Amino acid sequence: MKNFYITTPIYYPSANLHIGHAYCTTIADAIARYKRLAGYEVFFLTGSDEHGQKIQRSAQAQNKTPLEYVDPIVDNFKELWKKFHISNDDFIRTSEPRHEKVVQEIFRRIRDNGDIYKGEYTGLYCTPCESYWTELQLDENGCCPDCHRPVEKVSEEAYFFKLSKYADALLKHIEDNPEFIVPTSRRNEMIQFIKRGLEDLCISRTSFDWGIPVPDDERHVIYVWFDAVINYITPLINSNKMEKFWPADIHLVGKEIVRFHTIIWPAMLMAANLPLPKQIYGHGWLVTDGDKMSKSKGNVVDPVALVEEFGADAIRYFLLREITLGLDGNFSRDALIQRINADLANDLGNLLHRTLNMIGKFQKKILLPANDLTDLDKSFRAEAVDTAKEFRRLMDSVQLSDAVKIVWKFIGRANKYIDETMPWKLAKDESQRQELANVLYNLAESLRIVSILISPFMPSTALKIREQLKVSAEFKLDDAEIFGQLESNHEVGKPEQLFPRILVDK
């Protein structure tokens, strides 16, 4: 069996979950579900990134330990993923002992290879905030960007990773492997970044202690990014699955963290003598009516409220259809409602409802054998199979939005097939019984195929369609490419509404 490994970033446990978290995880979930459908053994990882000074300080402000502070936030993440039908195979928390063990192991390995050394870190320090800043991060008065008080230059002993040593090897790898960083715009940015020169990276701190201790020198904790990226191999090392799933097929990340994943992480892997991931995919941001979501702007869309109002599948459909992977996308409530009404309630919902209704009314819910197909019937069948094949091609090249669109194009075709063949007229004419049976069979069979193709995007809707068709819950992608799998004399169920129309106040 072929293996496939996909990750989302591990998310920073901030109390304000927004639809952007759900967007990234939904993309990864759709890809993971598609690969399983296509016959791969899949490992899909997500998790939470819990260390660092910011978390420690937020916890202190609430008189909590860091773990007491993050536990409920991480529970909310897990709860949200359940609500969104996310099918992750593991959830990694960087505060887990299994992770600490692996981070220390990798630190040791890189240190033993001579790529970690002790030096002195000099930085601009804001004492009230306990934060280091760089020249560039300071506010317009040269003060702390958080509290706007003066900063001072301080030095502390620290460990450094020889990132500079890997600049040439990284550049060569990126240039030799066009698929390593996607999309190309991100790839070009990283090439320019490396060409400007890489400095060694400070990878330990002594000014706080919420982190993983440096092995054999516990006054230091390991820098949060060095710790965080190692999460991608922790579950594999702990379960002896490195050989099976590493290197990862896709690290899916937001564009703002592409640099950590395409420069620091690969350099660390080179230093630890491990293979590099096959692809880092930098997706765009979700904006709300054209504006980047942020707490201060008050335009954060709460995914929990959204899923409770509209259901996970409708939101998943909207995100995956509306946003071209790699580009920024717009989230708007109005556009979501329009999609639900037009595409889900009307196009898909009506197709299922009309089909089952007619099979019930004209053939007592029984599918009769198809025979003597007309040219129209034959071309409709061919279109169903072509759609499934094109769907496979698009999904294999991670063109999710286009894949959704061709399925809906076929759904539109199926609705038109009903209008063209007019089964209600055929039913009135005894000599047209065979043609009626053909049309109804073709419609039911095309719905079976649609249920397979939408299953990576809308898993619970796919199951509802199959329940109403009374067919097996288990299909593979191959089953969408062969028309005619429904048995004749199969009895279908009765139609039930898939998506209620949403009334909009004017």
Residues that bind Zn ion in the complex, under the rule CB under 5 A: 126, 129, 144, 146-147
Cβ-based nearer residue to Zn ion, 60 or 238: 60
Answer for the pair 162, 117: CB distance below 8 angstroms, yes or no: yes
- Residue 133 C-beta: closest distance to Zn ion, Å: 8
- Residue 53 C-beta: closest distance to Zn ion, Å: 12
Q: Cα(400)–Cα(364) distance, rounded to whole angstroms?
A: 39
Phi/psi of residue 361, nearest 5 degrees: -75, -45
Cβ-based nearer residue to Zn ion, 152 or 505: 152
Answer for the pair 236, 242: CB distance below 8 angstroms, yes or no: yes
What is the token pair recorded at 47?
Answer: 């998790």
Q: Cα(230)–Cα(243) distance, rounded to whole angstroms?
A: 16
Cβ-based nearer residue to Zn ion, 144 or 286: 144
Please provide the DSSP assignment of 133-164 as one string: E-GGGS-TTSB-TTT--B-EEEEEEEEEE-GG
Sheet of strand 217-222, all strands in order from the earlier edge strand to the far edge? 204-205, 217-222, 213-214
- Residue 220 C-beta: closest distance to Zn ion, Å: 23
- Residue 152 C-beta: closest distance to Zn ion, Å: 11
- Residue 94 C-beta: closest distance to Zn ion, Å: 26
Cβ-based nearer residue to Zn ion, 143 or 373: 143
User: Which candidate, 498, 87, 169, 473, places its Cα nearest to that of 311?
Assistant: 498
What is the token pair recorded at 412?
Answer: 């539109």
Q: What is the DSSP letter of 117?
A: E
Cβ-based nearer residue to Zn ion, 156 or 200: 156
Between 459-469 and 312-322, two packed helices, what is the crossing angle to 10 degrees? 120
Cβ-based nearer residue to Zn ion, 152 or 334: 152
- Residue 195 C-beta: closest distance to Zn ion, Å: 34
User: Which candidate, 31, 121, 13, places its Cα nearest to that of 67?
Assistant: 13
- Residue 260 C-beta: closest distance to Zn ion, Å: 24
Answer for the pair 368, 338: CB distance below 8 angstroms, yes or no: no
Instruction: Name the CA dihedral angle for 231, 233, 239, 242, rounded to a multiple of 10 degrees.
Output: 170
Task: Collect contacts of 338-341 with beta carbons under 8 A, ≥24 apart.
Answer: 339/314, 340/310, 340/314, 340/499, 340/501, 340/502, 341/501, 341/502
Residue for token pair 């030095």:
155
Cβ-based nearer residue to Zn ion, 144 or 319: 144
- Residue 127 C-beta: closest distance to Zn ion, Å: 8
Q: Cα(414)–Cα(409) distance, rounded to whole angstroms?
A: 9
Cβ-based nearer residue to Zn ion, 144 or 268: 144
Cβ-based nearer residue to Zn ion, 150 or 500: 150
- Residue 210 C-beta: closest distance to Zn ion, Å: 19
- Residue 56 C-beta: closest distance to Zn ion, Å: 15
CA distances from 182 to 173, 397, 400 (A): 14, 11, 14
Cβ-based nearer residue to Zn ion, 92 or 151: 151
